[in-house]
Structure 1
Amino acid sequence: NQKCPPKSQEADDKRQAAREVIDILQEISDLLNTNLDRTELSLCVSLIENGVNPDALATVIKDLRKETGAKRVGNAHAVE
């Protein structure tokens, strides 16, 4: 008879596994030059796990980057 690990050990194991997944995703993200940090990746994973369409999420991220990039360029010209 094998005993189940204590609840706290089980929770620690799950957290460690989640960290490892994010580590791997961060490496892939870096290779693909997504410019997403660990927090942003974690949020994306959470959204996808909760049913958000990955393609739609990618589109929203791209659109937000275009908007903020355009605003940054506009602000830079306003300062000059």
Structure 2
Amino acid sequence: MTNESRDNSVASAAEVMATVGEISDLLETGLDDQMLLIIVRLCELGVNPEALASIIQELQQEMAAYKSASGESTS
């Protein structure tokens, strides 16, 4: 792979992650850039996106319940 094609690949990946971040913000997922990168990489490795989404939603609900029970704010 040449330096130019490598640079193009990096720029393309950065653009994709920026778009994923914007979509995440619009949908108010509460996921930060690092979490989104991990999710994208898991999907690239073949993890079922629907199962992954279900697990993330469950974890967010558990965290909200924990914070509520301990009196922490949910923001």
Under a length normalisation based on structure 1, what TM-score does the superposition of the two structures give? 0.79
Give 5+ residue unaligned stretches, structure 2.
none
Tell me, in whole angstroms, the C-alpha distance in 1 between the residues paired with 2:70 and 2:6.
46
Matched, 1:24 2:24: no
In structure 1, the gaps of 5 or more residues are: 1-5
Q: Distance in 2 between matches of 1:58 and 1:30?
A: 16
Q: Percent identity?
A: 39
Which of these two proteins has the greater Rg computed from alpha carbons?
A: 1
Q: Kindly report the root-mean-square deviation, in angstroms, between the aligned alpha carbons of the 2 structures.
A: 1.6
| Corresponding pairs, count | 72
Equivalent in the alignment of 1:76 = 71
Report the 3-state secondary structure (helix = DSSP H, G, I; strand = E; otherwise coil) of the residue aligned with 1:52.
Answer: coil
| In structure 2, C-alpha distance between the alignment counterparts of 1:35 and 1:65, rounded to whole Å | 9
Q: Deviations over 1:37-64 (max 9, x none)?
A: 1111111110001011111000000111
